[in-house]
Amino acid sequence: MKPKMKPLVAAVAASGLLAAGALATLPSQAGILDYFQHDKTVAAADTAAPAPAPAVATNVALAPMTAPNYRQIVKTWGPAVVGITVSGVHKEGNDQMSSESPSPNDPFFQFFRGLPGFQFQPHGGMEQPFKGLGSGFIISQDGLILTNAHVVRDAREVTVKLADRREFTAKVLGSDPATDIAVLRIQASNLPTVRIGDPATLQVGDNVLAIGQPFGFSESATAGIVSAKGRSLPGDSYVPFIQTDAAVNPGNSGGPLFDSNGRVVGINAQIYSQTGGYQGLSFAIPIDVALQAKDQIVATGHVAHARLGVEVQDLTQPLADSFGMARPDGALVSSVDPDGAAAHAGIKAGDVITQIDSQPIAEAGDLSQRIGRSKPGDQIQLKVWRDHAARDIDVKLLAVSSDSAGTPTLASDQHGRLGLALRPLTADERSQASIDHGLMIERVDGAAARAGIQPGDVLVGIDGQPATSVQQVRNAAKSNDKVVALLIERNGDQIFVPVRIG
C-alpha cells in the first residue's frame, strides 16, 4: 500500500467531525550554532626510533546544547493559538476518498493533485452538511488570524475559540488554495499575538514546536526537529515546505510551528501517511510565504499568482548527458502553453531553465515556487540551456487564470453552447495517454452530453486543429454556427464526435 499525502481532512467517526488536515512545517528561526570544537593532540615521540614529525589527531566533539524551553514557549505564546470550528455543506462524493481527494472543480485540486495516494474520484450526489475543525493563530491584537485555506473551505459558519475559552464568529477575509492560506477576522481587541520568525535562518536539525487541536484536543503541543527544508511536493505547489517530525494530526491544520526561540516559522499543513494519522513526516508552509499571501488577501480579498506557462520536469543524469550538461541541475521544459508568457518570450520544449534572476534552479519545483511567488507583470530573466549552450531570455509574467490553475473552466460562451468543463492535462496524464496535448473533460452537459461525450474523455482536437487551450475551444464554439467536430480519446481509442450547437 502506497503512503498517502493527507491534506489533513479526515473523518473522525467517534465525534462526528470532519477534521481539517495538517500540512507540514516551516523552517524555524535561529540557525544552528557551531557545534564542533577541535582538540589537537600531538603523538608522543617513539623513544626506540628517530623522532618522527609530530602526528596531529583531530577529535571532534559536539558542543553542549541547551534544550529549548518548551514550557515557556507554550506559556507565553500558546494563548495566541486558537481552535477553529466550521460548518457548511459538501457535495457528497461517490466513495470514501471524496473527503481527502478534491474534485477537479475544486480550487484545491491543483494544490493536492499528484501527491502519493491522491486519486481523482468523480464527485456528485446530494449536498451533505458537515462540521470540521482546525487550528490557527492570532497575528494582530485587533483579531487577524492565519489558518489553512482547506480548514475553512465550503464553510458557511466559522467559530474561533480562544485559549481563555471565549468564542467568536469569524469572517473569512479570503483564502488562497494555491498556497493553502486563509485569513480570518474576529471582532475583538487587545488579543495575544505570536511573534514572527525568519524561516531562512532555520536549519535541518533545529528544534521546533507545534501547537494546535489535533482531533479536537485543544492546546496540544508536540515537539520535533526540522527534517528537511525547501521540500517540493508533487502537485505543482508554490510552497517550499519545511519537513519536520513534530507530530501533527487532523485538527492541527493551520496551527503554528514555533522555533526554539518561540517565533512562528511555519503553518502546519500536510502529513505523509498510510493511515490518515501521523507517521513521522509532516510539512509546514513557511511563514514568509503565508504572510505574502495574507498581505494580498487583506488588501484585495484574493491572491494573484504569476504564471510562466510551461510544464517542467526534473533532469536525470542521462538527460543531462544528452543535453551536454555536466550536472542534472535545472527544470526541463516538457511543454509550452502557446498563449503563455514563456511562449511569447521564445521558450521551447526541450529547454532547460537553470537560473531565474541569477538564482540557480536545482529542481523543477524550485522554478514553480519562485514563479508562484512573483506577481503578474513582473519582468524576470531566465538562463536557459539550449543546443549545448546557455542563453538569457527576458520574460514578462502573466497572471494565473482558472485554465492554468487546475480548475475546470466551461469551454463555452455565456449561453453554454458546448457544455464542457475542461482543464489542461497534467504531465503524468499526457504520458499515460501517450499524447503531447489535450484537455481533460471533467463535466458535461448540454450539447456535448447529447452527443455522447463523457467525463474522463480527453479532448484531443476541435475542427481539425489540436486542442491546446480552453480559450481555443471557447473561440471555436463561438465562431461555429452549427456543428463542431471534436476529436475525443477514450480508453486508448480516438473518435470524432460531431456536436450540434446550432
DSSP 412-458: S-TT-SS-EEEEEPPHHHHHHHT-S--EEEEEE-HHHHHTT--TT-E
Confidence of residue 204 (pLDDT cuts 50, 70, 90): very high
Sequence-ordered list of residues with C-beta below 8 angstroms from that of 479, at least 6 positions apart, any chain:
none
- What per-residue confidence (pLDDT) applies to 293? 93
Q: C-alpha angle with apex 120: 118 to 126, nearest 5 degrees? A: 125
CA 73 to each of CA 23, 78, 221, 332, 425: distance values in angstroms, whole numbers, following the listed order:
21, 7, 10, 44, 46
* Average pLDDT of the residues in 202-206: 95
Pairing verdict, β 123-140 and 17-19: parallel
- Counting beta carbons within 10 angstroms of the beta carbon of residue 25, is it exposed (0 to 12), middle (13 to 18) or buried (19 or more)? buried
Closest to 309 measured CA to CA, from 203, 378, 218, 404: 404
- What per-residue confidence (pLDDT) applies to 120? 45
pLDDT above 90 covers what percent of the chain?
Answer: 40
CB 263, CB 6: distance < 8 Å: no
Q: Is residue 13 over pLDDT 60?
A: no
CA 369 to each of CA 27, 78, 291, 426: distance values in angstroms, whole numbers, following the listed order:
16, 31, 15, 17
CB 127, CB 465: distance < 8 Å: no
- What per-residue confidence (pLDDT) applies to 393? 96
Q: How far apart are CA 279 and CA 302, in angstroms?
A: 34
Q: Is residue 384 over pLDDT 50?
A: yes
Q: Which of 31-35, 116-120, 183-187, 460-464 has the highest mean pLDDT?
A: 183-187
Confidence of residue 501 (pLDDT cuts 50, 70, 90): confident
- Which three-class secondary structure state does DSSP give residue 29? coil
Confidence of residue 130 (pLDDT cuts 50, 70, 90): confident
Q: How far apart are CA 69 and CA 73, in angstroms?
A: 6
Q: What is the DSSP letter of 288?
A: H
Of the two residues 296 and 66, the one the predictor is more confident about is: 296
- What per-residue confidence (pLDDT) applies to 12? 30
- What per-residue confidence (pLDDT) applies to 448? 84
- What per-residue confidence (pLDDT) applies to 365? 80
- Which three-class secondary structure state does DSSP give residue 58? strand
- What per-residue confidence (pLDDT) applies to 187? 96
Q: Is residue 309 over pLDDT 70?
A: yes
Q: How far apart are CA 132 and CA 19, in angstroms?
A: 5
- Counting beta carbons within 10 angstroms of the beta carbon of residue 67, is it exposed (0 to 12), middle (13 to 18) or buried (19 or more)? exposed
Q: How far apart are CA 225 and CA 208, in angstroms?
A: 5
Q: Is residue 332 over pLDDT 80?
A: yes
- What per-residue confidence (pLDDT) applies to 60? 60
Q: Is residue 315 over pLDDT 70?
A: yes
Tell me what the pLDDT averaged over the chain comes to: 78
DSSP string, 180-241: TEEEEE-S--S---PEE--GGG--TT-EEEEEE-GGG-TTEEEEEEEEEEEE--TTT-S--E
Q: Is residue 19 over pLDDT 50?
A: no
- What is the b/e burial string over 126-135, where b = at least 16 CB atoms within 10 angstroms of the residue's CB? eeeebbbbbb
Confidence of residue 234 (pLDDT cuts 50, 70, 90): low
Of the two residues 389 and 14, the one the predictor is more confident about is: 389
- Say which range, 46-55, 236-245, 389-398, 477-486, has the weakest mean pLDDT: 46-55
Catalytic residue ranges: 150, 180, 253
Taken in order of first residue, the domains within the chain and their CATH numbers are: 1-32+66-303 (2.40.10.120), 306-399 (2.30.42.10), 409-500 (2.30.42.60)
Q: Is residue 372 over pLDDT 70?
A: yes
- What per-residue confidence (pLDDT) applies to 399? 83
Supply 396's cell numbers: 514578462
CA 124 to each of CA 92, 95, 128, 305: distance values in angstroms, whole numbers, following the listed order:
6, 10, 11, 30
Q: How far apart are CA 433 and CA 456, in angstroms?
A: 12
- Say which range, 279-293, 349-363, 452-466, 488-502, has the weakest mean pLDDT: 488-502
Supply 377's cell numbers: 507583470
Q: Whole-prediction pTM value?
A: 0.63
Supply 354's cell numbers: 537553470
Residue 487: which H helix or E strand, with range? Answer: strand 483-490
pLDDT tens digits for range 143-177: 999 999 999 988 999 999 999 999 999 999 999 98
Of the two residues 92 and 133, the one the predictor is more confident about is: 133
